[in-house]
Structure 1
Amino acid sequence: MSSLITVGVIANPASGRDIRRLTTHASVFPTAEKANMVVRLLAGLGMLGVGRVLMLRDKTGVAALVLRALETHAAVGEPQRWPNVEFLDLPITDSVTDTHAGVAQMVRMGVDLIAVLGGDGTHRAVAAHCGEVPLLTLSTGTNNAFPDLREATVAGVAGALAASGLVPPDIALTRNKRLVVRCVAGPHKGREEIALVDVCVSRQRFVGARAVSEPGDIETLFLTFAAPDGIGLSSIGGAWAPVERTAPHGLHLTFARAGESGMPIFAPIAPGRLDQVTLRTCERFEAGHWAPLHAEHGTLAFDGEREIELERDDRYEIALDWAGPLTVDGGRTLRYSASRQLMRELAAHRR
């Protein structure tokens, strides 16, 4: 492997620590654990030849703890190889702007892969700017429908195999669907947003704490996929009509208001919460055509977080396409490696 292989790391310092922990029993990912996950990721990447890692600085301590681990590793002279880590000199705002700017800079610097530690919202923010650079997904958020739940060391190994080309892209990488929402009339005409898992029309009039957590607030839901063992809003589709990530279509669901008739369904729309929703309709949502979003008031939520407050004259439309990010399929990558005995060859080469 070439020492020029470069991997970017986005570790959202705010993921897994939002207000939903006050109303649910979601896992908490403290700063120290995120730093430990990055260190374990470095071990997997470095042993398989990744020579350079780019990271962002932050004010919460993730970068500081990683730097301390790097200094300790160098001081004790551990035999395990770690990549050289560079911290990008970018402004720190402690907002999603850091992720947008950091990913854009990493792409400009020619990274071969971006490892993302976060939930659905973090991965959405990265996907908006990563272009054709593949993502290595790791769950550290509240709703983790999109990213993988995998040990960081193993993820690092899979990421290195993919970034190096030792496992061919058609094996290592998967193309994902996405939902695209655009405003075609009104004060926000021209605005465009994407979602990797779900777009929800919420009856809540204001963004507020952002999270869509009350089942009665859900008016309409569009899904790229719906796993039967998923969490978050997509679990509603998974409980009624599961859709694989590889399926050519998504789902379009509508929900009854209080007192209206429909089909009651239980679904885990948040960690530790099994809520009942009343489903009115559920249809396939085909890729490749634009459909109007019928909503005159309320909010639009993307991957579980409300972002747009609808105004009277706004007109939005939505489409499903296959222009979502490339992601590393860890299981498939490692199975290919085992079938070709790549680890044995790499070990022999290092002697």
Structure 2
Amino acid sequence: MSQRAVSVGVIANPSSGRDLRRLLSWASVFPTGEKVNVVLRLISAMGSLGVSEVWMLPDSAGIAARVRDTAAIGRAQRNLALPRVRLLDMRVRDCAQDSAEAAAQMVRQGVGLIAVLGGDGTHRAVASTCARVPLLALSTGTNNAFPEMREATTAGMAAALIATGKVDEAIGLRANKRLRITGARVDEFALVDVCLSRQLATGARAVWRGEDLVEVCTSFGEPNAIGLSAIAALACPVSRDDPFGAHVRFGPGRTLMAPLLPGTMQQVSIASARRFSPNEPLWLTPAAGTIAIDGEREIELDGQERLRVELDLLGPRTVAVARTLEYAARQGLLFDLPNPAGCA
């Protein structure tokens, strides 16, 4: 009886790690060549642990094509255990919709999970169409909170253990929160934060001036973060697993020093900071300005519209890399003969 072919998706955003914040701070640049190398390390680990096929988003930078060709050479000339790489048949527009459309196609192809290389915005786009297919979240953007910086090899190991069923989803996946923003003409969601800013136009989209901030809601905020969620994290820390979020209003009060950009500390005045629960909708202050979703200005406001923010537990499921690998090690799953008794 033949073994079931294991297929995964990989979405690598060619634009992540290249935004305006590189002009405003000392944020790292993530070049195309390095993204190619990251994907190759990722799928090499996956192939060694049973993944046979990878679907990729075609991109104008040529990341997917280079990965496909390099993997084919590695299989043919070096007998490497690299999966067969296939490119989706889709028109690329160099926008967030590419990632959303690619994720939807990958779901229809029956992938076991989708690895995402990008920032918070890329992950939000993928989460909008991935349904219940889990994500492997890898950071290649700026000020990221949702995806984590990880070595692609070990991340690929964990992803393969989930995709092949060697580690049960109940053990290896994390449930995530999200924020939903609704109004008369708005129905969006954020994975990490929603911020009301006094900046009147979406412009370059980044939010970098503390004096422009009116209020911010976060699904989680961890003190080692950078960006808008870092403010909430330092004023009212909330973990990914806590069943509540944080709400911060800016104004006269205590002054907080926070890292809004890589290498850039700013003072912000905190009027109030508190937790809020999933059954507690928040009404944002009516004000002319913009709403930033996951760190980028998306919606322009005239000061009349009332927007509501609610926390729910319907965010995408993600691979808990450390937990998955720890379980695999304790169960001896990477030995040729597994030994659940461990190293007695």
Normalised TM-score (structure 2):
0.95
Q: Cα RMSD over matched residues?
A: 1.6
CA distance in 1, matches of 2:284, 2:62: 41
CA distance in 2, matches of 1:221, 1:346: 51
How far did 1:346 drift?
6.6
CA distance in 2, matches of 1:303, 1:197: 6
Task: Indicate the residue corresponding to 1:288 in structure 2.
Answer: 279
1:10–1:115 Cα contact (<8 Å) kept: yes
Map 1:209-220 → 2, pairs under 5 A: 209-220=204-215
Going from structure 1 to structure 2, the CA distance change for 1:216 and 1:308 (only over 3 Å counts) comes to: same
Task: Indicate the residue corresponding to 1:93 in structure 2.
Answer: 93
Task: Indicate the residue corresponding to 2:306 in structure 1.
Answer: 315
Task: Indicate the residue corresponding to 1:5 in structure 2.
Answer: 6
CA distance in 1, matches of 2:300, 2:271: 24
CA distance in 2, matches of 1:204, 1:306: 9
Alignment of 1:72 with 2:73, yes or no, is yes
CA distance in 2, matches of 1:27, 1:167: 34
CA distance in 2, matches of 1:219, 1:25: 26
CA distance in 2, matches of 1:199, 1:135: 22
CA distance in 1, matches of 2:337, 2:208: 48
One-letter amino acid matched to 1:308:
I
Q: What percentage of aligned pairs have identical amino acids?
A: 49
How far did 1:3 drift?
4.5
Which SS does the other structure have where 2:86 is aligned?
Answer: strand
1:293–1:317 Cα contact (<8 Å) kept: yes
How far did 1:238 drift?
1.7
Task: Name which of 194, 213, 222 aligns with 2:217.
Answer: 222
Map 1:268-347 → 2, pairs under 5 A: 268-345=259-336
Task: Indicate the residue corresponding to 2:129 in structure 1.
Answer: 129
2:178–2:191 Cα contact (<8 Å) kept: yes
1:178–1:322 Cα contact (<8 Å) kept: yes
Alignment of 1:199 with 2:194, yes or no, is yes
How far did 1:234 drift?
0.8
One-letter amino acid matched to 2:66:
L
4+ residue runs over 6 A deviation = none
One-letter amino acid matched to 1:307:
E
How far did 1:198 drift?
0.5
One-letter amino acid matched to 1:333:
T
CA distance in 2, matches of 1:311, 1:130: 33
How far did 1:210 drift?
0.2
How far did 1:17 drift?
0.7
One-letter amino acid matched to 1:238:
A
- What do the CA deviations read for 1:34-64 (whole angstroms, capped 9, x no partner)? 0111100110110000111100111112123
Alignment of 1:52 with 2:53, yes or no, is yes
- What do the CA deviations read for 1:109-146 (whole angstroms, capped 9, x no partner)? 11110000011111111111111110001110001211
How far did 1:312 drift?
4.3
Q: Which range moved further: 292-301 or 171-180?
A: 292-301
1:16–1:141 Cα contact (<8 Å) kept: yes
One-letter amino acid matched to 2:220:
F
Map 1:230-245 → 2, pairs under 5 A: 230-245=225-240
Task: Indicate the residue corresponding to 2:83 in structure 1.
Answer: 83
Q: Which range moved further: 233-242 or 29-38?
A: 233-242
CA distance in 2, matches of 1:250, 1:288: 11
- What do the CA deviations read for 1:268-298 (whole angstroms, capped 9, x no partner)? 1111111111000111111123222222310
One-letter amino acid matched to 2:244:
H
CA distance in 2, matches of 1:329, 1:104: 22
One-letter amino acid matched to 2:100:
H
Map 1:185-196 → 2, pairs under 5 A: 185=184, 188=185, 191-196=186-191
One-letter amino acid matched to 2:48:
M
CA distance in 2, matches of 1:346, 1:89: 40
CA distance in 1, matches of 2:299, 2:50: 43
CA distance in 2, matches of 1:22, 1:82: 38
Normalised TM-score (structure 1):
0.93
Map 1:15-54 → 2, pairs under 5 A: 15-54=16-55
Alignment of 1:255 with 2:250, yes or no, is yes
One-letter amino acid matched to 2:273:
C
Going from structure 1 to structure 2, the CA distance change for 1:315 and 1:241 (only over 3 Å counts) comes to: closer
Going from structure 1 to structure 2, the CA distance change for 1:54 and 1:346 (only over 3 Å counts) comes to: farther
